[in-house]
């Protein structure tokens, strides 16, 4: 196996590891990374305590949870997945994402758009550097990162979807309207009710369809001796507004 990132998994543990030289510590013992290089995907490797890990190919979920850097609040998968569900974009769609933040949403969408692309905008140099690292780590080639203040407008026209997650979002809605094709979707993430109301008022100034507003709340359940909901869950993160250029 060439040097690369692999996922080591067993029943109650998983680690995203870069093969190569050195020792990697797990709760079940240490792993010699030079031995890991000799292994193939699907094979097992033992720790010094004799505990076995299966070697598998990591996917985007593994990178989100174990490798990508965060420098700002991100749109979580529970909300990002709803953008796909409520817009129905195709795998060859062209998408504008603003602002990039650390690139989570752009990467999530680009992974789905196997024949399309995501053009993502960010003006903060601090976030751009982190986003560039995360995009490189993802291995995706269909993301274009632009440094630009989107209150000045977008460069693209006739796109299928525009996503907005940034301050002063109401100042960008007119530019989103111009960039969208007829029938294209606008998806806006609003963390507070105050911002939500401002956005709804601004949308009324353009030829958009009646907005759909949703909030996603996720709570996992725990099964040990009994079945019960976990004490903590992913509750309010933000509101999602969906509307369409008509």
Q: Which pLDDT value is given to residue 232?
A: 78
What pLDDT score was predicted for residue 219? 86
Write down the pLDDT at residue 73: 76
Region at 100 (left for phi over 0; alpha for psi -120 to 50; beta for the rest): alpha
pLDDT on residue 71 = 76
| Contact in structure between 53 and 47 (CB atoms under 8 Å) | yes
Q: What is the pLDDT of residue 214?
A: 96
Spell out the residues 6+ positions from residue 102 whose beta carbon is closer than 8 angstroms to its own. Answer: 68, 69, 70, 71, 72, 74, 127, 130, 131, 134
Give residue 2's pLDDT: 57
* Domain ranges across the chain: 5-58, 64-244
What are the residue ranges of helices labelled H in the chain?
33-37, 60-66, 77-87, 104-112, 125-138, 173-179, 193-203
Separation CA 194–CA 170 (nearest Å): 12
| Fold topology of 64-244 | Rossmann fold (3.40.50)
State which residues of the chain have pLDDT below 50.
Answer: none
Q: Supply the pLDDT for residue 209.
A: 98
What local confidence, expressed as pLDDT, does residue 236 receive? 82
Q: What is the pLDDT of residue 4?
A: 85
Neighbours of 76 (CB within 10 A): 17
Write out pLDDT tens, residues 21-51. 899 999 999 999 999 999 999 999 999 999 9
CA distance 246 to 241: 16
Class in CATH terms, 5-58: alpha beta
pLDDT of residue 172: 98
Q: What is the pLDDT of residue 3?
A: 64
């Amino acid at each position: 196996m060439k040097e690369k990132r692999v996922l080591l998994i067993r029943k109650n543990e998983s680690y995203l590891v870069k093969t190569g030289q050195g020792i990697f510590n797990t709760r079940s013992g240490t792993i010699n990374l030079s031995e890991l290089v000799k292994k193939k995907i699907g094979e097992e490797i033992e720790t010094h305590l004799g505990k076995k890990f299966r070697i598998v190919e990591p996917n985007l979920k593994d990178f989100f949870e174990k490798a990508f850097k965060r420098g700002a609040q991100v749109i979580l998968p529970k909300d990002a997945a709803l953008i796909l569900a409520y817009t129905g974009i195709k795998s060859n769609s062209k998408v504008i994402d603003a602002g990039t933040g650390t690139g989570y949403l752009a990467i999530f969408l680009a992974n789905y758009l196997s024949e399309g692309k995501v053009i993502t905008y960010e003006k903060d140099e601090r976030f751009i550097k982190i986003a560039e690292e995360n995009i490189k780590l993802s291995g995706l080639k269909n993301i274009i990162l632009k440094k630009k203040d989107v209150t000045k407008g977008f460069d693209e026209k006739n796109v299928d979807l525009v996503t907005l997650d940034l301050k002063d979002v109401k100042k960008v809605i007119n530019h989103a309207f111009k960039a969208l094709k007829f029938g294209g979707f606008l998806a806006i993430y609003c963390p507070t009710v105050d911002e939500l109301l401002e956005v709804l008022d601004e949308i009324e100034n353009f030829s958009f369809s009646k907005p759909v507003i949703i909030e996603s709340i996720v709570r996992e359940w725990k099964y040990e001796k009994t079945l019960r909901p976990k004490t903590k869950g992913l509750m309010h993160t933000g509101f999602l507004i969906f509307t369409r250029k008509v």
